[in-house]
């Protein structure tokens, strides 16, 4: 089934209330392709930012559409993983919408840019893999950093060019890029606005996998499918624990990990996984 996020408004129309001609965020759940015909649906949803004419720039309507889609999928037990990509071949997302933001003031930039939705995206419990072709700049790079893994096409370009616009990254770049690549490299990238290609991004630890450009979405769907086939409570717990490592002192992070590990012994899937191991058979996960 192909679902579509509710009708959105254009950046200009977002201000006037006029309807946008077509949705700017598409949701395909189950995701098409990548899985052989006749195989069971692995529970992967494909979410696509669909503004190729603006290189998938992130305006308020896109951010609202993403937050709505992620929230809905996160509550849907038939969804086990999300792949996020951008329409077309030129960009994952070329950043926040500069034209929409240009006239903003400190008071209006929040709603104009849809900045309230970033926290909703970050709170998603399901694993989210970004499939990045072309530009992932500014907010696009920050969106990739906020998600859990990046599969990059060999045509991908990452960067935080905000300094060249007279601002700084505003959706987590100074914090998440620094945690991902370290202070020295983050300083150089953010203070110069220099872009890097997929291979350099992989070397720096921003990207999990670089693949031939035309295979990007399929390879991300395959990776998501492998994760979706694993016990969902453990997958969510693992994601939460790894993310906590970005925020907590070591002792607190270790305590959280131990609590989570112990709690999983209350799940049917732990009993099933360990019984299946002992009985030398494949496990049958129930998600309970």
Residues binding ligand CAA (CB under 6 A): 54-55, 57, 94-99, 135, 137-139, 142, 161-162, 165, 169-171, 173
- 222 annotated active-site: no
Task: Give the CA radius of gyration of the chain.
Answer: 19
The dihedral sign for the CA sequence 201, 205, 207, 213: positive
Q: Considering the complex, what minimum distance in angstroms separates the CB of residue 156 from ligand CAA?
A: 12
Give the chain's largest Cα–Cα span.
Answer: 65
Q: β-pairing, 128-132 with 149-153?
A: parallel
- 96 annotated active-site: yes
Q: Which is nearer to ligand CAA, 43 or 134 (CB)?
A: 134
Q: Which of 60, 156, 162, 173 is catalytic?
A: 162
Instruction: Name the β-bridge partners of 93.
Output: 136
Q: Which is nearer to ligand CAA, 141 or 221 (CB)?
A: 141
H-helix segments, the chain: 11-16, 60-75, 98-101, 109-113, 118-122, 139-146, 178-181, 183-192, 198-204, 216-228, 232-244, 250-263, 268-278
Q: Which of 43, 86, 134, 139 is catalytic?
A: 139
- 162 annotated active-site: yes
- 139 annotated active-site: yes
H-helix segments, 17-117: 60-75, 98-101, 109-113
Q: Which of 142, 202, 222, 257 is catalytic?
A: 142
Q: Considering the complex, what minimum distance in angstroms separates the CB of residue 216 from ligand CAA?
A: 17
Q: Considering the complex, what minimum distance in angstroms separates the CB of residue 168 from ligand CAA?
A: 7
Q: Which is nearer to ligand CAA, 165 or 256 (CB)?
A: 165
Q: Which is nearer to ligand CAA, 44 or 57 (CB)?
A: 57
Q: Which of 96, 156, 171, 241 is catalytic?
A: 96
Residues designated as active site: 96, 139, 142, 162
């Amino acid at each position: 089934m192909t679902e579509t996020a509710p009708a959105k408004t254009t950046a200009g129309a977002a201000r006037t209330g006029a309807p946008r001609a077509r949705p700017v965020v598409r949701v395909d759940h189950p995701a098409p392709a990548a899985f052989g015909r006749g195989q069971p649906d692995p529970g992967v949803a494909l979410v696509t930012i669909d503004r190729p004419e603006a290189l998938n720039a992130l305006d308020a309507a896109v951010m609202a559409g993403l937050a709505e889609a992620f929230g809905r999928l996160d509550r849907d037990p038939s969804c086990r993983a999300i792949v996020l990509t951008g329409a077309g071949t030129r960009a994952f997302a070329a950043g926040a919408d500069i034209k929409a933001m240009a006239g903003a003031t400190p008071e209006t930039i929040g709603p104009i840019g849809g900045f309230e939705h970033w926290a909703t995206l970050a709170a998603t419990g399901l694993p989210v893999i970004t499939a990045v072709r072309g530009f992932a700049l500014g907010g696009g790079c920050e969106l990739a950093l906020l998600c859990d893994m990046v599969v990059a096409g060999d045509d991908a370009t990452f960067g935080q060019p905000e300094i060249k616009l007279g601002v700084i990254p505003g959706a987590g770049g100074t914090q998440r890029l620094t945690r991902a690549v370290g202070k020295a490299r983050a300083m150089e990238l953010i203070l110069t606005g220099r872009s890097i290609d997929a291979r350099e991004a992989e070397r720096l630890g921003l990207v999990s996998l670089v693949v031939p450009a035309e295979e990007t979405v399929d390879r991300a769907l395959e990776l998501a499918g492998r994760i979706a086939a694993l016990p969902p409570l453990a997958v969510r717990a693992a994601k939460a624990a790894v993310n906590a490592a970005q925020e907590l002192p070591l002792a607190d992070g270790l305590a959280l990990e131990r609590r989570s590990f112990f709690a999983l012994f209350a799940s049917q899937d732990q009993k099933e996984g360990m019984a299946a191991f002992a009985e030398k058979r494949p496990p049958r996960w129930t998600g309970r």
